[in-house]
Structure 1
């Protein structure tokens, strides 16, 4: 991946930004240094904060009302990074609808919506206006995830047969799962592992899980539409200083592992060492494991979290899709629908009870 700087692009999108919070300051506005974006306006309910962000990121005019901004600026695209309402709803969903109806394409941070009903309304607005909506599913844009996808689709890997993902997140107690406010943390973070499941393995057909009442940790067993199986370990209670994530995909005689998001090991298919007769653990070079991890000494872009966490790649994908007049391939509303199906299952299905993700579709159909 060779990176183009913002000023080098011959064509840029006129973009506005709704939201001036800490996450966007650290992780989204800075991506515009490497994307075809001309930031013309910043909006936040705190006008002073919007002005500060506009000065800091060269964002043109500041607004306190996104309706006023949309009418005055008529942007090509709008980035939306906001929070939740007092009732636990996702603020960005309604804002994104307003942007679509004003004629703008939308990139929005996850979560896209608080449920399938809200997503349906957003989908209807996108269909009606013919505008693109993309969600920042950063995990599927990380270099590690893209490398895993390339490996597991290679002939040598074989058909992917199973996957396991570890991610530290608590699932609230059953009595609290009907409370939108109590579920904010789970909604906010289930998007990460669920996006990886969909990207790497496709839709989930059936899910069952067990839940620990002390920490809120859970372990889920999944059957995918492809016939592959998987586990999701939501490892609440793990040490805060420990690496957060681990992903492993197993094929047919080969497997690939990503630890801490940046350390990837590909265990290639090879000749087994004879049991009881092997005096060395080394395999042939042609089938030896391959390992990649970044060095953090050079001032390279790949050492920036904006790149290895997927922020720049996802923003680039959105901008390039809009400029080319084609729909995005990842971060789509269809991807979000698969995630929200799982989220709603966790809300209503008790531990230990198998649940069909699409109960209206019979297995094998």
Structure 2
């Protein structure tokens, strides 16, 4: 993939940004260097921060009231990266509705909403206005996951039979799961592994899990609508210095593994290592494992976290589809619905029991 720099695009979206926090400073605003974005205004409840970010990232105006921003600037699109209310609601959900009704398309950081009911209201606003809403599901835009998705689609890999995803996240105690504020951490992070699971495997049909009370770790068993099965290991208690995640997908005599988000190994079908008679572990070149990982010595774009973590690809995807007047293909509200179904099931399902996913 050849990258186009911002100033090289012939057409750009007039964009506003709501939110001036640390995450957006590190990972979202800088990604505009490689996207068809003309940043015209920044809004934050702290006006001095909005002014600072506007100066830093080249916007002409700063606001502390998003209604005023929308009325004055009338942007084509708005990026929203905000936090939670004290009660545990996702601030961005209501902000996105306001932006849609003002005529703007919306890119919003996950989580999109705190539940299906809130998502339904946002979907209704999107349907009513005919505007695009996309959520930043960065994991499914990473080069590693895009490569896995393409491998799974090949005849050589065969039908996908199972998946295992490891991600370090605690599930709160049962008595806390009805409290939106106490569920913020889980809501915030379940979007990552759940996006991978549903993107690669499709909707989940049935879930059960076991829960460990000291750390909040859990291991879930999943049945997908396709008939494939999976395991989600939420590995709370893992060392902070350890690689965060691992994904392995099994096909028919083949499997593909992604470790630490950047190391891909494809174990291809067809290797013959007969038991008891094979003197060498080295397989024929035609069926040997394939391995990819970036180098980190050169000042290349692919070894910037903005690219290998998926930030630039997801933002470019949003902008290019809005400019073309076509629906986004990933990070849709339908994708989010599948994730929130899982989230709500974890909230109400006791450990050691099984439940079928609702619609």
TM-score after normalising by structure 2: 1.00
Give the Cα separation in 1 of the matches to 2:58 and 2:37: 11
**110-119 vs 271-280, which deviates more?**
271-280
Give the Cα separation in 2 of the matches to 1:188 and 1:300: 30
1:47-126 paired onto structure 2 within 5 Å? 47-126=47-126
Q: Does residue 197 in structure 1 map to residue 197 in structure 2?
A: yes
Structure 2 equivalent of residue 301 of structure 1: 301
Give the Cα separation in 2 of the matches to 1:21 and 1:94: 18
**1:211 Cα deviation from its structure 2 partner:** 0.1
**1:272 Cα deviation from its structure 2 partner:** 2.4
Give the Cα separation in 2 of the matches to 1:12 and 1:92: 24
**1:315 Cα deviation from its structure 2 partner:** 0.1
Deviations 1:247-272 (A, max 9, x none): 00000000000000000000000132
Q: Does residue 245 in structure 1 map to residue 245 in structure 2?
A: yes
Structure 2 equivalent of residue 363 of structure 1: none
Structure 1 equivalent of residue 281 of structure 2: 281
Q: Secondary structure at the match of 1:340?
A: helix
**1:60 Cα deviation from its structure 2 partner:** 1.4
**278-287 vs 71-80, which deviates more?**
278-287
Structure 2 equivalent of residue 26 of structure 1: 26
Give the Cα separation in 1 of the matches to 2:275 and 2:110: 49
Structure 1 equivalent of residue 321 of structure 2: 321
**1:13 Cα deviation from its structure 2 partner:** 0.2
**60-69 vs 265-274, which deviates more?**
265-274
Give the Cα separation in 1 of the matches to 2:145 and 2:277: 37
| Root mean square deviation, CA, Å | 0.5
Deviations 1:135-191 (A, max 9, x none): 000000000000000011111000111000000000000000000010000000000
Q: Secondary structure at the match of 1:26?
A: helix
Hey, which bits of structure 1, 4+ residues long, moved more than 3 A? Answer: none
Q: Secondary structure at the match of 1:111?
A: coil
Structure 2 equivalent of residue 174 of structure 1: 174
Whether contact under 8 Å (2:271, 2:288) holds in the other structure is no
Structure 2 equivalent of residue 270 of structure 1: 270
Deviations 1:277-297 (A, max 9, x none): 111111101101000000000
Structure 1 equivalent of residue 223 of structure 2: 223
TM-score after normalising by structure 1: 0.98
Deviations 1:83-132 (A, max 9, x none): 00010000000000000000000000000000000000000000000000
Deviations 1:287-335 (A, max 9, x none): 0100000000010000100000000000000000100001100000000
Q: Secondary structure at the match of 1:62?
A: strand
**1:274 Cα deviation from its structure 2 partner:** 1.3
Q: Does residue 12 in structure 1 map to residue 12 in structure 2?
A: yes
